[in-house]
Amino acid sequence: MSERVPATRSAPAPLAPTARRRRGFLQTYLTPKASIPPRAVLVLGAGSFVVIVVAWTLLADLIANPFFLPSPLTVVQAEVDMIQNLGFLGDVAWSTFRILAGFLLAAIIAVPLGLLMGSFEAIRAFFQPAINAIRYMPASAFIPLLILLQGLGENEKITVIWIGVFFQLVLMVMDIAQRVPSEMLNVAYTLGATRATVFRKVLLPATWPEVVDVLRITMGWAWTYLIVAELVAANAGIGNFILVAERYFRADRIIAAIISIGILGLMTDYLFGLFHRWAFPYVEKNAPNTGRRLFRGGR
């Protein structure tokens, strides 16, 4: 929240409370694109959770069958029970390990390759058509094949995540490198830079902030592929936990596990955001790039 530039910055500060002109409620809240008081933003944001919980409670009361829809309280109790008695944190650890392994292996190859593809047309011309085609093959469709090839071990799950992340990430990184303004490079040439220097000292640093942005986005996708892989076949992990809970008709545990994934996702997103602010203090906060604004909204 703190990084957000207050939209009312340019408005003159009111001199005294009595001097402030009161605007009508409708005028304040229903003027297109006009900003509303910061406190109202907070209240509305928290309000959406309240609405969800209330509607959920009412619906659970209405259905009155915890097999199908347990109440929020039951789910919280299930979560505590899972952590204390069912070793759920162990499943979380397994899933986190798989995500990190698959994601890092994808990023280590995709980021350099994407940067090269975005910078050199020869490399782009070679790789892009194939990667573009593979990108449309859903990672989850590879699971049966991977099970045949790799068995049911960790390699299979890591490969699924790798496939799901790698091909998207390469193209997104390529796009970033391609969008570096050519004048930025030309200035360096007129200052005496060689081609290698331009690549190292201009092109690469110009792409880093947005590369971290797309890593943040693809990390979210990695969670999806992981759960799919674990749902199909695994002996540990959050996906596996959900599958087992289904066999025992424990909707409360399923919902608790799903919410846990959401919280884990939010945490990684928050860490990426912290890192971004620490590493790139020079990036304009309201720069219209890669959904940064969009992703910041939730916190």
Partner 1 sequence: MSEIQFQDVAMRFRTRDREVRALERTSLTVPDGQFACIVGPSGCGKSTLLNVAAGLITPTEGEVLVDGKPTTEPGADRGMVFQSYSLYPWLSVRRNIEFGLEIKRVAKPEREKISSELIRLMKLTGFADAYPMALSGGMKQRVAIARALANDPQVLLMDEPFGALAALPRQVMQELLTDIWQRYRKTVLFVTHDIDEAVFLADVIYVMTTRPGQIRNTVPVDIPRPRTFDTLGTDAFARIRKQVTGYIHEESLRAVESELRVEASG
Contacting residues toward partner 1, per CB under 8 A? 181, 183-184, 186-193, 197, 201-202, 205-206, 208, 280-284
* Structure token digits, residue 280: 């790139």
> Residue 20 or residue 201: which is nearer to partner 1 going by CB?
201
Q: Cβ 19 to partner 1, closest distance in Å?
A: 31
Q: Cβ 186 to partner 1, closest distance in Å?
A: 5
Q: What's the sign of the alpha-carbon dihedral 138, 170, 290, 276?
A: positive
> Residue 63 or residue 184: which is nearer to partner 1 going by CB?
184
Q: What torsion do the CA atoms of 128, 229, 255, 90 make, to the nearest 10 degrees?
A: -120
Considering only the C-alpha atoms of the chain, give the largest distance between any 2 of them, rounded to a whole number of Å: 76
Q: Cβ 189 to partner 1, closest distance in Å?
A: 4
Report, in this order, helix, strand and coil percent for the chain, each rounded to 5.
Answer: 75, 0, 25
Q: Cβ 285 to partner 1, closest distance in Å?
A: 9
Q: Are 259 and 82 in contact (CB under 8 A)?
A: no
Q: Alpha carbon of 253 to those of 190, 228, 238: distances in Å?
A: 63, 17, 11
Q: How many C-beta atoms lie closer than 10 Å to residue 100's C-beta?
A: 15
Q: Cβ 192 to partner 1, closest distance in Å?
A: 3
Q: Cβ 242 to partner 1, closest distance in Å?
A: 43
> Residue 188 or residue 232: which is nearer to partner 1 going by CB?
188
Q: Considering only CA atoms, which of 263, 269, 258, 260 is closest in space to residue 294?
A: 269
Integer Cα distance of 148 and 159 in angstroms: 13
Q: Cβ 279 to partner 1, closest distance in Å?
A: 10
Tokens 């097999």 belong to: 67
> Residue 155 or residue 197: which is nearer to partner 1 going by CB?
197
Tokens 């915890």 belong to: 66
> Residue 144 or residue 205: which is nearer to partner 1 going by CB?
205
> Residue 177 or residue 226: which is nearer to partner 1 going by CB?
177
> Residue 109 or residue 206: which is nearer to partner 1 going by CB?
206
